[in-house]
Amino acid sequence: MIKRYNRTQTPYQRVLAAPQVSEAEKQRLRAKYKTLNPAALKRKLMRLQERLLKSIASTKAARVRPRQCRNDRYFTKQPES
What does the pLDDT read at residue 59?
Answer: 76
What does the pLDDT read at residue 14?
Answer: 95
Summarize pLDDT for 6-29 with one digit per residue, the tens.
Answer: 889 999 999 999 999 999 999 999
CA separation for the pair 35, 6 (Å, rounded): 28
**Is there a contact between 42 and 48 (Cβ–Cβ < 8 Å)?**
no
In three-state secondary structure terms, 36 is: coil
Torsion of CA 46, 47, 51, 57, to 10 degrees: 40
**Is there a contact between 37 and 24 (Cβ–Cβ < 8 Å)?**
no
Q: Strands of the chain (E only): list them.
A: none
What does the pLDDT read at residue 20?
Answer: 97
The tens-digit pLDDT sequence of the chain (81 residues) is: 888 888 899 999 999 999 999 999 999 999 999 999 999 999 999 999 999 999 888 877 666 555 555 655 555 555 555
